[in-house]
Amino acid sequence: MYKNKIWLSAPHMGGSEQKYIQEAFDSNWIAPVGDNINYFEHNIETYLGSGYVAALNSGTSAIHLGLILLGVQAGDAVLCQSMTFSASANPILYQGAIPIFIDSESDTWNLCPIALEEAIVDSITKGKKPKAIIAVHLYGIPYKIDEVRMVADKYSIPILEDSAEALGSSYNGKKCGTFGDIGVFSFNGSKIITTSSGGAIVTNSEKLKEKAIFLATQARDEAPHYQHSEIGYNYRMSNICAGIGRGQMEVLEEYIDLRRNMHAFYVDLFAAIEGVTVFTVPNANYFSNYWLSTILVHPSETNGISRETLRLALETANIESRPLWKPMHLQPVFCKYVYYGSNISETLFNNGLCLPSGSNLSETDRARIKSIVLKLFNK
Ligand SMILES: *Cc1c(COP(=O)(O)O)cnc(C)c1O
């Protein structure tokens, strides 16, 4: 019936990306070295207002390098928000370390500071202090920055801030990505801006940035031949991809506004529908890029309509939506690891749905979404 598919979050080119790609071709820097990389890093550093940025080939490799820079080794314990994308947790296993999963709290859906402290105290009692905390800003909403930092500092455990979904979000005016001991961004195709595939690591010293680049480019010692004293990785961003990133940085602010407009559209749409709540920041200290607009559907208040009923109705109309991230402690690959908390993330997963949120959705797209929703809820 409908020809064009409405995607959850599709790439959105700004217009000057190909000009920067052309510059890479003209200078023949078709490599993970070149001006586009330097400019792209500089653009992000300026945007963030603090920190040093190294551009990498994915958010996942940024998390892996982050754990390495924090000294995580085989056998170490690493605390990780359970409700997240698997890429937050997989690098713990790449290092041979052991994840300890932590429940969410219901205000931001992110790392619960109370369950976090419980896990730390328990681990220390058992003689093994965790090496790092991985905290995530899900869907662009900042985690409880002050509370998580307080627990981390109380036990002197560094934070790896997974800001993959939160470029442009902030807390008390300070940009996400700059709160952790290490911060991480993703520029995958579905994120608020994309380099097709890409990521970045944010550090608080120039030396640490240089170390990240050194490790990301095969850890070559200074010598005319290839000399190595450390294990290296091939994690650097390509100069072609960085050209896309330069173009995307020019439109980032505009795209944040457009994503926030999508969120406002859903707040308006669901205002009159009982039993459906649009996930929104807890108070004015939080600013979300609303990378994805998400809702909770409570079937007891909707005459039995569940998030799955809505998802299938949208799918029939060629509109993509998706359940929230399934918590890691419920995943077959991770369920054998220890988990602290109750069932908050599990309940969110059971009732939550991500809705089309892209910055390139049209008025017609919105009208299509609206008509399906209103029809399903008999409005
Ligand atoms: C997208 C994402 C990542 C991984 O980034 P890639 O660039 O796809 O490797 C990590 N964590 C979260 C929370 C993400 O959403």
What domains can be seen in the chain, in order of their start residue? 17-251 (3.40.640.10), 253-376 (3.90.1150.10)
pLDDT of residue 379: 81
Mean pLDDT of the chain: 97
pLDDT of residue 311: 98
Using 50, 70 and 90 to split pLDDT, how confident is the model at 378?
confident
Q: Does 162 sit in the ligand 1 pocket, CB within 6 Å?
A: yes
Q: Does 346 sit in the ligand 1 pocket, CB within 6 Å?
A: no
pLDDT of residue 2: 58
pLDDT of residue 241: 98
Q: Does 192 sit in the ligand 1 pocket, CB within 6 Å?
A: no
- Condensed to tens digits (0 to 9), the pLDDT of residues 302-359 reads 999 999 999 999 999 999 999 999 999 999 999 999 999 999 999 999 999 999 999 9
Q: Does 91 sit in the ligand 1 pocket, CB within 6 Å?
A: no
Q: Does 57 sit in the ligand 1 pocket, CB within 6 Å?
A: no
Residue 55 corresponds to which tokens in the numbers above?
Answer: 């551009």
Interior angle at CA 239, CA 235 and CA 242, nearest 5: 90
Measure 185 CA to ligand 1 centroid, in angstroms: 8
- Condensed to tens digits (0 to 9), the pLDDT of residues 53-97 reads 999 999 999 999 999 999 999 999 999 999 999 999 999 999 999
Residue 1 has pLDDT above 70, yes or no: no
Atom 14, ligand 1: residue with shortest CA distance: 164
Atom 6, ligand 1: residue with shortest CA distance: 59
Using 50, 70 and 90 to split pLDDT, how confident is the model at 275?
very high
Measure 165 CA to ligand 1 centroid, in angstroms: 7
CA distance 310 to 317: 11
- Condensed to tens digits (0 to 9), the pLDDT of residues 8-45 reads 999 999 999 999 999 999 999 999 999 999 999 999 99
Q: Does 194 sit in the ligand 1 pocket, CB within 6 Å?
A: no
C-alpha to C-alpha distances, 362 to 102, 133, 288, nearest whole angstrom = 38, 40, 21
Measure 88 CA to ligand 1 centroid, in angstroms: 7
Q: Span 118-142, mean pLDDT?
A: 98
Is 237 within 8 Å of 56 (Cβ atoms)?
A: yes
**Which of 83, 165, 186, 197 most suits a substitution to test ligand 1, by most atoms within 8 Å of the C-beta?**
186
Using 50, 70 and 90 to split pLDDT, how confident is the model at 221?
very high
Q: Does 113 sit in the ligand 1 pocket, CB within 6 Å?
A: no
